[in-house]
Amino acid sequence: MVKQRVAQLEYSEFQSAMLDEAKRRRKAAKIIAVLEHFHGPLGGLTVGDVGCSAGFIADELAGAGAGHTLGIDIDVPGLRKAADRFGERVAFVCGDGTALPFPDGSIDVLVFNHIYEHVVDPDAVVAEMHRVLSDDGTLYLGLGNRLGIMEPHYKLPFLSYLPPGLADRYVRAFGRADHYYERFRTRRGLRRMLRAFHVWDYTFPVLATPTKFAGGELFPGLPGKMVKAVLSRAPRGVLKLLLPVVPTYLWVATKTPRRPVGATLPQPPELVRPL
């Protein structure tokens, strides 16, 4: 019998990483650096963090100059904590990503950072983000890869490779959880999910220039200097061979064709070929 997926409510209550303020603010610094390289300053823009939980990233977006900052989630305990701390400069909304409570084309920048694997229907959420994003808007995406060797939530190798039943047994055997809920996609599946957008890949630029993008935590087990040295010198063909198994992709998507406005990088962002 196949167990039906349901929404993960109160996610911050059982995933302590969502309440790790220092780590979440480091992630926010990376997100803002990528957005500013692609889009330019956030000053005066309407910015939304879809899947904001306790609000640390939304707070940093507001601090980066966003004119109006929104935090959207179904995590009610997380939203309460967020509103108590940051409610004066961030508007927090309890809302389902498949039915965002905003008019068409009303948001300039959206952040969707490591959320898709948790939601029941990620394609529907992506369609809603496409609807509410302005025609010249920008969507930041942090996307886990099913073929990344170490599963990021439970720290078990090859967990995301397994079919649901075996994955459930695996997490139970190691005492990590009763059920493996997350569903990751391969790079090909992610390209299909984003087929309505024009997508730029910032994964290697961030890894090759970690000081510029605050991206050192992407491969925390590897010395940052070694990563920078390898990626800044590696031939483009070698990097492309690694793409299918990179654990995390950092993509920027737009509804209409656009190019990054920032300075040239040692490893520049590349367009992702649509499916």
Question: At 128, is the secondary structure helix, strand, or coil?
Answer: helix
**pLDDT on residue 231:** 58
Asked whether residue 13 carries a pLDDT value surpassing 50, the answer given is no
**pLDDT on residue 1:** 40
**pLDDT on residue 225:** 55
Beta-ladder partners of 181: none
Please report which confidence band the pLDDT of residue 39 belongs to, taking 50, 70 and 90 as the band edges. very high
Long-range contacts of 89-95 (CB under 8 A, 24+ apart): 89/59, 89/62, 90/55, 90/58, 90/59, 90/62, 92/52, 92/55, 92/58
Rounded CA Rg of the chain: 18
**pLDDT on residue 245:** 86
Question: How far is 263 from 258, CA to CA, in rounded Å?
Answer: 15
130-149 average pLDDT score: 97
**pLDDT on residue 212:** 87
As a whole-number percent, the residues of the chain with pLDDT over 70 amount to 85
81-106 average pLDDT score: 96
Q: Which residues lie closer than 8 Å to 34 by C-beta, 6 or more apart?
A: 140, 202, 206, 213, 250, 252
Domain limits, CATH 3.40.50.150, in the chain: 11-146+184-255
Please report which confidence band the pLDDT of residue 12 belongs to, taking 50, 70 and 90 as the band edges. low
Asked: is 11-146+184-255 a CATH 3.40.50.150 domain? The reply is: yes
**pLDDT on residue 150:** 92
Please report which confidence band the pLDDT of residue 57 belongs to, taking 50, 70 and 90 as the band edges. very high
Please report which confidence band the pLDDT of residue 234 belongs to, taking 50, 70 and 90 as the band edges. low
DSSP 55-111: SHHHHHHHHTTBSEEEEEES-HHHHHHHHHHHTTT-EEEE--GGG-SS-TT-EEEEE
**pLDDT on residue 210:** 82
Question: How far is 128 from 125, CA to CA, in rounded Å?
Answer: 5
**pLDDT on residue 9:** 54
Contact 69, 58 (CB under 8 A): yes
Please report which confidence band the pLDDT of residue 242 belongs to, taking 50, 70 and 90 as the band edges. confident
**pLDDT on residue 174:** 97
Give the tens place of pLDDT for each residue, 199-233.
Answer: 999 998 988 888 888 765 555 544 445 555 565 56
Residue 170 host element (H or E)? helix 164-173
Closest by CA position to 70, among listed 99, 53, 88, 46: 46
